Amino acid sequence: MSQRDMYDARFQNDNTVADLIVDNKWKWPKYWADMFPNILNLSVPNIRHGKLDVCKWRNNGGKDVKFSISNVWEDMREKREKVDWWKLIWFSQCLPRHAFILWIACVKKDISLGVVVYNIWKERNERIFTGEKKDADCLYKVTTDGIKLQLMSLQVKNSNAVRMITLEWDVKFRFRGT
């Protein structure tokens, strides 16, 4: 369910769960049953008028806790040992949207993957929601420029590998003290 679906159904940002229930039945737009068949299986909650809606998360232990992204993450993530390459993705100068998408798509230990995945995701959304399309040359330039900016924002130790990347990508790094 997207923001566009909510807009098309004329829902407001300040709607509450209680606004979507009439006579103890859901008040979904009729066409949503075709778009979201599982919506018909949602049980109607018991609404206590005069109380604010509260969003809870039932954790893996079966306990209802306050909903937060960190609680959901702790329940959903696969628990593993901390990897030694985590700073390649979550470094102090990273762009969180790139880092998050890279972490999700983590296939290689390559900073450029995050920029590539982010730009593909952004182009997809622009095509869906605005109908605008960039040509391949423009996408390539936006992506390579994003990679260069990401590389230039890093503070790195001077090494042969860094000097090779400097030549390959035509970027200047900020070197930290030795």
Query: Could you read off the pLDDT of 112-160 as tens digits, one per residue?
Result: 777 888 888 889 889 889 988 988 888 888 888 888 887 787 777 787 7
Q: 102 CB contacts (<8 Å, ≥6 apart)?
A: 89, 111, 113, 114, 117, 118
- Tokens found for residue 98: 């790139």
pTM: 0.38
Say whether both 131 and 161 belong to one domain.
yes
Q: How many domains does the chain have?
A: 3
Range of the domain at 140: 86-175
- pLDDT, one tens digit per residue, over 47-93 is 877 877 778 888 888 999 998 888 888 887 767 677 776 777 777 88
Minimum mean pLDDT among 30-34, 110-114, 132-136, 169-173: which range? 110-114
Say whether both 73 and 9 belong to one domain.
no
- For residues 26 and 111, give the distance between their C-alpha atoms in angstroms, rounded to a whole number: 46
Say whether both 53 and 40 belong to one domain.
no
* DSSP 8-state assignment for residue 59: -
Give the end of a domain, one of 62, 79, 96: 79
Say whether both 99 and 135 belong to one domain.
yes
